[in-house]
């Protein structure tokens, strides 16, 4: 597949090409850890709700555990996982929610806010910690929280993306 850049459009194209009733979206820098397939299979048998994975960073230390713990708490309390936690969703729920939007940032947040409450699976998604390691755990976490708040208050995702990219290391 080929097309315009951007995570939202790329995920949308992938969903369009898939033929299954359930879709599993996993970012390229995220790995599903052993046990994920059994957790997904059990969820498919018992539930129709969207689901995500517990987050863990591919880094050691208390800061990595603290930031991941906050993300997991945010998910449980507010049903607000980010794309790094992977997303398992029925195709009909995905389509009814409008799918991934063609926006520069927060495409994952926009989608999960339009879905029914997302359940957390008893399985882990481990994601790259490069940005946090480069910028600092608290600094990056604070910036992400600020961007989320600005998005909720109606900020333009293109402007948010420019703020986000200015702070990220070039890969």
Looking at residue 170, its pLDDT comes to 46
Looking at residue 68, its pLDDT comes to 96
List, as one string, the DSSP characters of 74-142.
HHHHH----GGG-EEEEHHHHHHTT-S-S-SS-HHHHHHHHSSPPEEEEEEEEE--HHHHHH-HHHHHH
CA distance linking residue 19 with residue 31, whole number of Å: 23
Q: Is 48 left (phi over 0), alpha (psi -120 to 50) or beta?
A: alpha
Tokens in use for 14? 């992938």
Torsion over CA: 7, 51, 58, 110 (sign): positive
Looking at residue 98, its pLDDT comes to 97
3-class secondary-structure state, position 12 = helix
Looking at residue 171, its pLDDT comes to 45
Tokens in use for 158? 């293109």
Q: What is the pLDDT along the chain (171 residues), one digit of tens a residue?
A: 677 777 888 899 999 999 999 999 999 999 999 999 999 999 999 999 999 999 999 999 999 999 999 999 999 999 999 999 999 999 999 999 999 998 889 999 999 999 999 999 999 999 999 999 999 999 998 988 999 999 999 998 888 888 777 655 544
Structural domains in the chain, CATH included, are 7-128 (3.90.550.10)
């Amino acid at each position: 597949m080929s097309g315009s850049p951007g995570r939202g459009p790329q995920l949308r194209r992938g969903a369009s090409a898939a033929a299954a009733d359930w879709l599993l979206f996993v970012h390229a820098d995220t790995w599903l850890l052993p046990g994920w397939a059994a957790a997904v299979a059990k969820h498919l048998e018992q539930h129709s709700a969207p689901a995500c994975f517990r987050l863990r960073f591919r880094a050691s230390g208390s800061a990595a555990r603290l930031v991941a713990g906050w993300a997991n708490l945010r998910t449980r309390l507010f049903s607000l996982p980010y794309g790094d936690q992977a997303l398992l969703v029925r195709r009909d729920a995905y389509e009814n929610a409008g799918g991934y939007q063609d926006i520069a940032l927060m495409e994952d947040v926009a989608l999960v806010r339009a879905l029914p409450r997302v359940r957390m699976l008893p399985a882990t998604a481990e994601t790259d910690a490069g940005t946090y390691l480069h910028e600092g755990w608290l600094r990056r976490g604070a910036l992400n929280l600020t961007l989320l708040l600005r998005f909720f208050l109606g900020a333009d995702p293109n402007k948010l993306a420019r703020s986000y990219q200015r702070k990220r290391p070039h890969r």
